[in-house]
Structure 1
Amino acid sequence: MSPMPALQPQPDPEQEALDWFSRLRQPGCDDTLRQAFAHWCQDPLNARAYAQLEAYWQQLQVPTARPRPRVAKARRSRSGLYLGLLFLMLLATLAWLFWPHMQRLASELHTGSGERRSVRLADGSTLHLDSASAINVDLRDRTRRLHLVQGQISLEVMLDGRALEVQVDDARIQVFGTRLQITRYSDHDELLVLSGKAAVLQGGDQRMVSAGERVTFTDSHINPVEKIDSKAADAWRSGRLQANQRPLAEVLERLAAYQGQRVWLLDEEAGHRRVSGNFDLDHPLLSLEQLARDQQLRLYNVLGQGLIVR
C-alpha cells in the first residue's frame, strides 16, 4: 500500500495579514517587500483579511487633538453606560417580579393567583393551599418531608407511625399534632398550631408551639410564642382574611397575593402599623382599595405583577 501524501497546510489569510502588517512597519521595508505584498493582495481573501486588520487598527488609534469630537465621544460613551445600567435594572426588576411565578410552576403542588385548593396526600393527610402557594412533597421514607416554597398551607396530618417534617428555607418544623398552618411572608415565616404540637428548629435554636399558639421566625432567629384566635386564623379557607392587630405589611402582602402581585411598601414605618378588619379574599382589589383609603395610602400597579404602596 503506497503511503498517503502529507497534508499541505492550509493558508491562513488572517495570520498572513498580521505578518504583513508587522513586516511593512519595520524600518527595513523596501520596494521588493512592497511588491511581494502587492502580489499577495491579488488574492481576494488576502486583500479582505488585510483590509479588516487595517480597519481594526484605525479604530484603536488615538484621534488627533480635536476637543469637540472627543467630547461627543465621551458623551456617547456615557449615554451607553447609562443605557446599559438601565437595561440591567430592568432585567433585575422583571426577574424579581416573575421569579415567584416560575418557582410555583417548578413545584410539585401549586396554586395560581386567587386559587384555593385542597389535596388528599398518599398517606391520608389533607393539604389546603392558599392563593399563589407552592409545595413539594416526599412521603416515601420513614420521615415524611414537605418543603413549603411560597405562600400558605393548612395541613391536617394523618398519623401513621412515621415522623413528619416541613422544611421552610433553613428552618425545620417537626409535627407532633394533627392541624397546623404555615405561612411565608417576604421577610419572615409563621407557624400556627390549631391542634396538637409542633417544634420549629432554626440552627441551634428551637421553639415548641402548642394548640392555639403561633410563632414567627426568620433565617437568623425564632421569635417568642404568642396566643392566637384559631377561628380567625383558619378563615381564609372560606374566602375571608380576618386580621386582628396584624402588621399592615402582612395584610397588604396577603391581599396582593390574591392578585398575583408582590408588594413594594415605600414607607417602612407604615408597614408596622397594626390593623384589624375582615377582608374579602375573593375580591382582593376592592379590599386593597378600602384598606388604602383607611390608611391614607396610594397604590400603583406595576405590569400587573407588582404593587407599589406609598
Structure 2
Amino acid sequence: MSPMPALQPPVDPEHEALEWFTRLRQPGCDERLRQAFAAWCQEPLNAHAYAALETYWQQLQVPAARPRPRIVKLRQSRMGLLLGLLFLMLLALLAWLYWPMLQRLGSELHTDVGERRSVRLADGSTLHLDSASAMNVDLRGRTRQLQLVQGQVYLEVMLDGRALEVQVDDTRIQVFGSRLQIARHGDHDELVVIKGKAALSQGGDLRMINAGERVTFNAAHIEPVAKVDTQAVDAWRNGQLKARDLPLAQVLERLAGYQGQRLWLLDEQAGYRRVSADFDLDHPAQSLARLADQQQLRLHSVLGHWLIAR
C-alpha cells in the first residue's frame, strides 16, 4: 500500500488578507507585489475578505478635527479683548472712586466725610481738621514737619523755638506766625494767614503772605496775593460756609464734598457765577437744594458718588 499524501491546511482568506494588508503598507512594496496582490484578489472570497478588512480599518481611524472657521477665532479674540478692556476700566473706576478714602486711611491723622475734629499735638499746637481731611505729622526734628494730604486744616501753632513747615505736594509753607489755614480744592490749593506770617515757596518762586491775606497755587504756579475776610474763612469750624463773592462751582464742590460726592457741573459758564451767602455744612443736602433753587439748577445724585448739576 502506498502512503497517503499529506493533507494541506485549508486556505484562510481572512488570514491572507491580513498578510497582504501588512505587506502593501511596507516601504519595500513595488509593482511586482501589487500585480501579485491583484491576481490574489481575482478569487471572490479573497476580495471579500480584504474589503472587509479595509472597512474595519477605516472605522478604527479617528476622524481629523475640522478646523474652526477663522471668523469664529477672530470674534472670540475680539470678545476677549473687549472683556479685558472692560475689566481694566472697572478697576480704574474703582481706584478713582476709592483712592481718596485709601489716602485718608493711610495718613496719620484723618477725618471721615462730614466729620470735623481737633487734635492737640505733642508740641502744644492744635490742628482743626475739616471734613474728609488727612495729615501726616513729624515733630521729632529741629524743623517740625506737617503734610496736608487732603481737605482743609486750621493750624494754631505753638511757638517753641523750632521752625514749622507744611508740605502740600511740592510746595513748602514756612510758618512764622501762630494761626493759618490751608485747603486743598479740586484744581488749586489755598493758604490764608490769620495771624503772623508765612512764606510759600515753589521751585524758584517765593511769596511772603501777611496776616489777612490769602494766596492760591497749584503745581504750575502761584497766583498773586490778595486780601481776605478772616471772619469768614474759618466759619466751617462752627459748621458754616460763608461764601463771599465765590464762584458757584467752588461752592457746589464744597457742599457736595461734605456729603461725600464729586461734582460734575454740565454748564461750565454757570460755574463762574459769583455767590455770596451763608450755608449750613451740617445739613449739606438742604443747603445744596436751596442753592440750586436760587441758581435755577437741577441736581442729580448718581450712585451716591457723583452730583450732576445742570
Superposition TM-score, scaled by structure 2 size:
0.75
Name the CA shift for 1:73/1:289 in 2 (closer, same or farther; >3 Å).
Answer: farther
C-alpha separation between the residues in 1 aligned to 2:26 and 2:244? Answer: 95
Q: Say how many residue pairs are matched.
A: 252
Instruction: State how far apart, in whole Å, the 2-side matches of 1:88 and 1:253 are.
Output: 28
SS of the residue corresponding to residue 194 of structure 1 reads: strand
Matches within 5 A, 1:1-310: 63=69, 70=71, 74=74, 77-310=77-310
Q: What is the alpha-carbon distance in structure 2 between the residues aligned to residue 270 and residue 90 of structure 1?
A: 31
Q: CA deviation at 1:275?
A: 1.2
One-letter amino acid matched to 2:130: D
Query: Once the two structures are superposed, what CA deviation does each residue of 1:239-264 show, in whole Å capped at 9, x if it has no partner?
Result: 00000111222212211221122222
Segments of 5+ residues of structure 2 without an aligned counterpart are 1-24, 28-61
Please give the alpha-carbon distance, in whole angstroms, between the structure 2 residues aligned to 1:302 and 1:87.
21
| Aligned AA (1:63) | P
For residue 113 of structure 1, give the secondary structure of its aligned residue in structure 2. coil
1:95, distance to aligned residue in structure 2 (A)? 1.4
The Cα of 1:296 is off from its aligned counterpart by 2.4
The share of aligned pairs that are identical, in percent, is 71
Distance 2:309 2:77 in 1: 36
In the other structure, the counterpart of 1:7 is none
Between the aligned partners of 1:286 and 1:73, the Cα distance in structure 2 is: 56
* 8 A Cα contact 1:120 1:126, kept in partner: yes
Return the offset for 1:86.
3.3
Whole-angstrom CA distance in 2 between matches of 1:267 and 1:207: 34
RMSD of equivalent CA atoms: 2.5
Q: After superposition, what is the alpha-carbon deviation per residue over 1:267-309, rounded to whole angstroms, capped at 9, x for unaligned? A: 3333222211100000001111221222222222232222222
- The residue type equivalent to 1:109 in the other structure is L
SS of corresponding position for 2:199: strand
* Contact 1:98–1:305, Cα closer than 8 Å, also in 2: no
1:76: Cα distance to partner? Answer: 5.3
CA–CA separation in structure 1 for the residues paired with 2:293 and 2:228: 27
Displacement of 1:62 after TM fit? Answer: 7.0
Counterparts in 2 of 1:125 and 1:62: CA distance versus 1, 3 Å? same
Aligned residue identity for 1:128: H
Cα 1:73–1:277, aligned 2, differ >3 Å: closer, same or farther? farther
After the TM superposition, which of the residue ranges 200-209 and 81-90 deviates more from structure 2? Answer: 81-90
Shift, 1:94, TM fit = 1.9
The answer (yes or no) to whether the contact 1:97–1:262 under 8 Å persists in 2 is no
Name the SS for the 1:136 alignment partner.
Answer: strand
In 2, Cα distance between the equivalents of 1:109 and 1:245? 32
Deviations 1:88-140 (A, max 9, x none): 33322221111111111110000011111001111000100000000000011
Residue 15 of structure 1 corresponds to: none
Q: Distance in 1 between matches of 2:26 and 2:247?
A: 87
Change (3 A) 1:76 1:270: farther
Please report how far the alpha carbon of residue 234 of structure 1 lies from its aligned counterpart in structure 2 after TM superposition: 1.2
Q: Distance in 2 between matches of 1:238 and 1:124?
A: 22
> In 2, distance between residues paired with 1:122 and 1:85?
50
Larger Rg, first or second structure (1 or 2): 2
5+ residue gaps, structure 1, are: 1-29, 33-50, 65-69
Q: From the superposition, tell whether residues 178 and 96 of structure 1 become closer, same or farther in structure 2 (CA, over 3 Å).
A: same
SS of 2:224's equivalent in the other structure is coil
C-alpha deviation, 1:73, in angstroms: 5.6
Cα-to-partner distance string for 1:9-60 (whole Å, 9 max, x where unaligned): xxxxxxxxxxxxxxxxxxxxx879xxxxxxxxxxxxxxxxxx9xxx9xx79x
